[in-house]
């Protein structure tokens, strides 16, 4: 099995690089995320939303899922739009700029709030440049709504067959908006039938990269 040189985690707020067989956080990446960000303001916005909708409709995720650049809540779908609006209003008042990213299925959704400079696409672009890969040889693959920003980049993208309904619906709309590929070339955004890693391999074969 191939061993990666870098890992992107925590919705693009963490980048780890392999150094002498150990994973070490890339502090250069973390340092770029502080611009227009205040985790205390974001946390306070979460508490205000909690007070407004109640603990039966919103909760903070366990502390191991949070970090200095990521606040995550579980939110009932019935109040999701209202909660996002509360976050947007509070952060705008305090001059904090953030990406607010819902994902998941069912009656509860994850809601990740991360710096405006963070996210899976931004982290992917950072790692791409770090290792000198071309855009055409940098492929984003996803199965969840929090992958949408990453899949919207200029690079090739694969939505696997077991993708969650919100991502499948987005991919269908996005595919219709994409410019047509060059004759004989695959589309930039691929929707494949196989699940998980097999779906990634299916997409890479269609792209001529496997």
Q: What is the pLDDT of residue 29?
A: 97
Instruction: Summarize the confidence of residues 130-156 as an average pLDDT.
Output: 95
Is the confidence at residue 169, as pLDDT, over 90? yes
Q: Which residue shows structure tokens 């990666």? A: 4
Pair of tokens at residue 157: 């993208």
21: left (phi over 0), alpha (psi -120 to 50) or beta: left
Q: What is the pLDDT of residue 175?
A: 93
Sign of CA dihedral 137, 143, 147, 149: positive
Nearest CA-CA partner of 169 in 103, 111, 108: 103
Does pLDDT of 1 surpass 80? no
Q: How confident is the model at residue 210 (pLDDT cuts 50, 70, 90)?
A: confident
As beta bridge partners, residue 191 has 159
DSSP class of residue 70? B
pLDDT at 154 over 90: yes
pLDDT of the residue at 21: 86
| Arithmetic mean of pLDDT over the chain | 96
Instruction: Tell me the mean pLDDT in the region 190-200.
Output: 97
% of the chain surpassing 70 pLDDT? 100
Residue 167 to residue 144: CA distance in whole angstroms: 6
Q: What is the pTM assigned to this prediction?
A: 0.91
Asked whether the predicted pLDDT for residue 20 surpasses 90, the reply is no
157 forms bridges with which residues in the sheet?
140, 189
Q: What is the pLDDT of residue 110?
A: 97
- Give pLDDT, residue 67: 97
Q: 131: which residues sit within 8 A by CB, 6+ positions away?
A: 5, 6
Q: What is the pLDDT of residue 2?
A: 80
Q: How far is CA 31 from the centre of its chain?
A: 19
- Please tell me the distance from the alpha carbon of residue 119 to that of residue 70, in angstroms, as a whole number: 10
Q: What CA–CA distance (Å, rounded) separates 62 from 201? A: 33
Task: Quote the pLDDT of residue 121.
Answer: 96
Tell me the C-alpha distance between 36 and 90, whole Å. 14
Q: What pLDDT is attached to residue 208?
A: 92
| Distance in angstroms (rounded) separating the CA atoms of residues 163 and 59 | 25
Instruction: Summarize the confidence of residues 159-180 as an average pLDDT.
Output: 95
Reported residue count of the chain is 210
The stretch 57-75 carries a mean pLDDT of 98
Q: Is 28 exposed, middle or buried (0-12, 13-18, 19+ CB in 10 A)?
A: exposed
């Amino acid at each position: 099995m191939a061993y990666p040189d870098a890992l992107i985690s925590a919705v693009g707020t963490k980048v780890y690089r392999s150094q002498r067989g150990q994973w070490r956080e890339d502090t250069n990446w973390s340092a770029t995320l502080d611009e227009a960000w205040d985790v205390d303001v974001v946390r306070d916005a979460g508490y205000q939303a909690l007070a407004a909708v109640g603990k039966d409709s919103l909760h903070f995720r366990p502390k191991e899922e949070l970090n200095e650049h990521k606040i995550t809540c579980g939110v009932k779908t019935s109040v999701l739009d209202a909660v996002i609006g509360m976050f947007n209003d509070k952060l705008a008042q305090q001059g904090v700029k953030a990406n607010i990213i819902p994902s998941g299925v069912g009656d509860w959704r994850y809601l990740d709030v991360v710096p405006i400079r963070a996210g899976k696409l931004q982290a992917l672009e950072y790692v791409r440049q770090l290792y000198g890969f071309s855009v055409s040889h940098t492929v984003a693959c996803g199965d969840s709504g929090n992958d949408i920003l990453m899949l919207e980049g200029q690079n090739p993208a694969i939505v696997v067959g077991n993708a969650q309904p919100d991502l499948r619906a987005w991919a269908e709309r996005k595919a219709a908006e994409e410019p047509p590929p060059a004759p004989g070339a695959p589309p930039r955004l691929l929707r494949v039938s196989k699940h998980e890693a097999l779906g990634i391999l299916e997409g890479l074969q269609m792209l001529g990269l496997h």
